[in-house]
Amino acid sequence: MGRAERKAEAREEIVRREQHRERRRQISRILHKPATERSPGERQLLQNYGELVQELERQRQRRERLRGREQEVVDGTEILQKKVSELADSVREAEHMVIYTGAGISTAAAIPDYRGPSGVWTLLNKGQSVSTGDLSEAEPTFTHMCIARLHRAGLVQHVVSQNCDGLHLRSGLPRDATSEVHGNMYIEVCTSCSPHREYVRLFDVTERTALHKHNTGRFCHKCGGELRDSIVHFGERGKLAQPLNWVGAVKAAKKANVILCLGSSLKILKKYHCLWGMNRPSSRRPRLYIVNLQQNHSAQGLTKI
């Protein structure tokens, strides 16, 4: 094929794409009309392009599902009181209770969540910018302090958190009772030392790191090795023993007969099957309570608050 033919073919491809985009816009405008207001010609056009109509309809349904997940739903007073009473009874009677936490419990500390109405992913999907303050100034919220108090009272045995803000440790929750499975933005690690040497900072250690690039630019005072952050990025498999503490998380999950999830859509955490006891017989699976304003997936033995 000569140069002229390639150019002609490229022009034809551009024309075809533009025609397809214009057809999509035309069909979309018709679909936005009530069926009773469509002209005979418009109805015929929808029939002629049935596959395109189905594609646009699937996209519309997907957008509606996403909007539904972003909406915050609050139970009525009587229903809420009944659910809270049931949860309180389960907490008191639990033999081994584990709490899973997400970004929702830190919004009161001015740290944005991800999928709420003003969450990070929600705003980015709308093309809006995300602004955050100095996270190092954030303090544990009322929820963090209550969880620490429940642990001291012997009512909670372990906390598994998706958050990297370090607020659970600041609340006084012991390290051995905490699994920060996505890391801690205030902890950097020397992996050259054996065992690994941790450095707990008062500042965000990730200021020089990036996606899949973990070196912080600082060095171990003992061996001189370069320090790395403890954050687990999307697509990565966290291998650090601490602060991830997967051993503690899995051990606690195996013993749990009550699981309380706070401030999480569970879109990520649900993928860790080892945390839910689903390999047990149905009669021995832990009772699951989810406290979250956004929509969550349904499951057997689940109470949504």
Residues with a known catalytic role: 182
Side chain identity at residue 155, one-letter code: L
The whole-angstrom separation of Cα 132 and Cα 111 is 7
The whole-angstrom separation of Cα 154 and Cα 255 is 15
Strand partners, 162: none
Q: How would you label 64-75 residue by residue, b for 16+ Cβ within 10 Å and e otherwise? A: eeeeeebeeeee
Check: CB of residue 182 under 8 Å from CB of residue 231: yes
- Among 170, 171, 173, CA closest to 248: 173
Question: Binding-site residues, please?
Answer: 190, 193, 220, 223
Question: Binding-site residues for Zn(2+), please?
Answer: 190, 193, 220, 223
Query: 46: part of which helix (H) or strand (E)?
Result: helix 40-48
CA distances from 293 to 4, 33, 44, 72, 274 (A): 60, 33, 44, 5, 25
CA distances from 145 to 17, 279, 300 (A): 57, 33, 30
